[in-house]
Chain A
Amino acid sequence: MSSLQSLDVKQRSATTSPSPSVRSTVEVAKLIDISKCIGCKACQVACGEWNDIRDVVGTNVGVYDNPPDLSADTWTVMRFTERETEGGKLEWLIRKDGCMHCAEPGCLKACPSPGAIVQYANGIVDFIEEHCIGCGYCITACPFDVPRISKHDNKAYKCTLCSDRVSVGLEPACVKTCPTGAITFGSKQDMVDHAAERVLDLQERGYQNAGLYDPKGVGGTHVMYVLQHADTPEIYHGLPANPRISPLVSLWKGAMKPLALLAMGAAVLTGFFHYVKVGPNDADADSEGSGDARREKTDPRVTNREA
């Protein structure tokens, strides 16, 4: 995708000066209510249709997940988890996986190419593939293991939250197509409010630990889940309980950058001023006489005293 003029930019990768931001927009969010999902994969189909991407037809890997993983051509995938409840009943947890559109995106922090990843004022995190250099730092930094590099063009791809549709006032394709209303879209606040009602409803129906997944470790997300078991998000195919940008990535793409350049600059200057003060270590200059003799020849203080 190319950057959309109608959406203001909040953050831009590898850019240290402010981005154009005179307008303020409402923060948007997609809410995925896992308790309402029937696993029909209509959202997967709609995603491929709207974005005009087709993954290769794969093989059955023994579970319903199809394709088995996200890819450069599959920006969302249903993750099916079968588990036994304490009562010995089967519980089928189906999570629509894809980019979470973090408020503090690790991908954007790590990206070395100016403007290859942008975060719009409405919260959508978008990859601008024309600026992508294919280094994969976004993959390294993502707490949710979402970006994928295409084998064809070595560019990184992921869910755009249909930024093109949202910019003209439409909901994302997956939301539009969901037959059960498990996916809703609107302002982040509306979605949080809606989730609160859903959570209450689930709690009344026996899911005491139902809750909203909007992890604070990444500043909150613009894709949120209603989970029946919000106390253990890991059971939803490894959804991280406390996602955050790895401290190693924070150091690498944070303090280390200015400190390393500062140290290099300081080293060069130290060398220069050492030369200015001490001068060269020159074996051949010594041959013209002892150090003291030379100093007498050149040091004006010495000659002044003699005069």
Chain B
Amino acid sequence: MDQNVPIVRYSDGERINHWTVAILFVLAALSGLGLFHPGLFWLTNLFGGGPWTRILHPFLGVVLFAGFVVEIARFWRDNRFEDCDRQWLRQWRDVLANREDKLPAMGRYNAGQKLLFWVMVVGLVMLFVTGVMFWRPWFAQSFPIGLVRLAAFVHAAAAAILILAVIVHVYAAIWTKGSTRAMIRGTVSTRWAMKHHRAWAQEKIK
């Protein structure tokens, strides 16, 4: 069969959903980093200065979280861990060395993508919950000070982990050619699908 035949990987809705969340994540991360480290306070200029950054950041976060909840509903089924995922993770050296032919056949997502997905689920839920807890002037005063302190700490830690996860996510998209196109235009070649997600490809072309 023709290896160049396009296979639909992401529907219009999935792509729009993903990029909405992605743009909001970048905005939330930049504004959050501006308030996190003095060396990055200049980032608040992108949002109209310190007070505006303080005002906008939580709203960006809430919209981001709402968008991500929709994304969870779309993708969680394909991100359930299976037995072959353990084998894939064990062969992480083959993954990093581009020896994909030695890896078990993957479904729509490989074990690394699944791991990233669940890190994001846990991370964003924590960011949302803790963010509300020290959101001024609306909610922070309703929580005891010990909890507000814990929330501020967890919020920063979860954000740092999430930004790291997104750096890995973006790099993986740059590294694995064709996946950025999949998320922008929606399709991949049959060859791409057979190489990276054989089990999923076989399902699709049946």
Contacts and interface: CB of A to CB of B under 8 A. Distances in A.
Interface of A: 14-16, 112-114, 131, 133-137, 139-141, 145, 149, 151, 154, 246, 248-249, 251-252, 256-257, 260-261, 263-264, 267-268, 271, 274-275, 278-287
7 contacts: A135-B35, A140-B140, A140-B145, A271-B175, A275-B171, A283-B177, A283-B191
B41 A149 contact: no
Contact of A278 (B40, B97, B153): B97
A252 B152 contact: yes
A252 B137 CA distance: 21
Contacts of B36: 112, 257, 260
Given A112-B41, A249-B149, A257-B37, A281 B156 contact: no
A263 B165 CA distance: 11
Interface stretch (B15-23, B47-55, B70-78, B117-125): B47-55
Contact of A140 (B44, B137, B149): B149
A251 B156 CA distance: 10
Interface centre among B51, B96, B191 (most CB of A within 10 A): B51
The B contact surface, by secondary structure, is helix
| Interface range, B side | 35 or more
Interface string B50-64: 110110000000000
Contacts of A264: 160, 163-164, 167
Given A134-B137, A257-B36, A284-B192, 10 more contacts: A134-B54, A149-B136, A154-B51, A248-B153, A260-B37, A260-B163, A267-B164, A275-B174, A281-B177, A282-B178
A285 B175 CA distance: 13
Interface in B24-51: 34-41, 44, 49-51
Interface in B145-176: 145-146, 148-150, 152-153, 156-157, 160, 163-164, 167-168, 171, 174-176
B41 A16 contact: no
A145 B136 contact: no
